[in-house]
Structure 1
Amino acid sequence: MHDVTFSYVGQPQKSTATADQESAQNASQHDVLEHFNLDVPVTGILGLRGASGRGKSTVLKLLMRYFDPQSGSVTMSGRELPNVDASYRRHVQAMMGQQTYLFDTTIRENLLLANGGASDEQLREALKQASALTLVESMPHGLDTQVGELGSRLSEGERQRIGLARVFLRNADLILLDEPTSRLDSLNEATILQSINRLAESRTRLSEPEPALKQTPKYKPKYAKMKAKAQDASAKKPKYRTKYQAMAEQIQATQQAQQRSKSLAIVLVSHRESTMRICDEVIDL
């Protein structure tokens, strides 16, 4: 985000609007963010901390392009969001709001909303990452347990963990978490934070660069011989040089793409000091 200024432009109120509604409308005209800058790292957990009304949730909505700023730009990998295909953005981004909404159906069906083709094994892995697998397996019907209207048969902490598993199931590159622990007690907060931190660490390890053209010992001598021949040929004839360079560039591009696909960035919004303890960097708003 570069030099972003944003305000919520309210719709015209009817003449029957109350004084409180008119006050809220006037407040919405003020700039929530003014000349705001933010760089989200490729990996790790970035914390946005601040009191209510400071624009923390607004930042996430702008990153998801629920709104466009009045001025400034919001970009993804150097491209402004309006120029990035919406289906691609939905594929690489996932957001969990302040309240988890569950439909009046089974845990399985609620999870499949994030990935309709997921197998039971993938569902259980997502639940495990969210520290919810033991909870679900302890229920008489497991994944086929009915959660009730808006998840009324589950506690607040249980709903949050199911919601977190749903986010994890997306396997997104950027996860946005809006006050995920604000309604929880200290025990459930610790469980949620542990799950978030564990996922971030596992994806960070996966995204660490590997040695170029990593081979098993069986094939190393053969590859080294082929590489030496190609280098020798490229030194003698330009056409071989071009072919070798193209092959090397293609391999490098593939490795970089694989590395990017494994990386994970998390933006964690909270007013709680305790929530920020898992963040690699904290920005105060």
Structure 2
Amino acid sequence: MNTNYNLPEQIKNMLQTTKRKNNHTLQNLIGEGGYVPPHIDLVIDAISALSLGKNILLKGPTGAGKTKFAETLSNMFYQPMYSINCSVDLDAESLMGFKTLAYENEKQVIEFVPGPVTSAMMHGTFLYIDEINMAKPETLPLLNGVLDYRRTVTNPFTNEIITAKEGFNVIAAINEGYVGTVPLNEALKNRFIVIDVPYLEGKQLKQLIQTNTRLANETTIDLFVKLSADLIQSVYQGKLSEDAASIRALLDACDLSTLIPAKRAIIRSIADKLEEERERKFVSNIADTLF
């Protein structure tokens, strides 16, 4: 458990109890942790929901730290986590697994290789579904029984009914309004507790830069915090796309600035990722005023 969080005693005791229960052999699938929340309520609410067996949906802009948040929850619960990265190509095999040829006592047999959904259910671990609204709408109904009180699914490849072991929980993440995404239907959304994950700003962002990058100069760190605030404000005003305010990209720029000038690091890590020349120049101008 990450002891840096000022958690209520009830939540700490809940995590300690869960950690004693989770004596998994899949320790290599436990997240590293390290998420710095904008406010502690995010962590408390997520822990509370998962402890009650609820699914949680992390909603927020790209680069806000949703995946890092999920990994931190895995770490805090000492709970391994299987992951799915959704795309338009996601199909039942990607979720459930597939059949393949194998040998048993020198005889060729058909063997089923479990996918992330079946593996997480059979082991009683977390399942992380990233960018869930990137999947085709016709693929996701397969998960309805997995996500509700039944915690069961019929494997379409083996006709086996799989019931999740105790400890199974689902964490999903969503970026709304992006090209290729589709709105989640109400039946699916109602199976989640929604937690809005905003951008990190101010002291929390400064702490993240100090602990997750090689940048040590406090003056430069403060300038990067100011840069992030300006980029976020520009996104809210509609002058930049959300990609410009990605915290992940900002951390890359901080790391790179230890070896090359900060302005160039910002261009390489943030500005050059943007599609429109207008936006690239806008970011460059902001960087000029600070660096």
TM-score, normalised with respect to structure 2: 0.28
Q: Which has the higher contact order (CA 8 A, sep 6+)?
A: 1
TM-score, normalised with respect to structure 1: 0.29
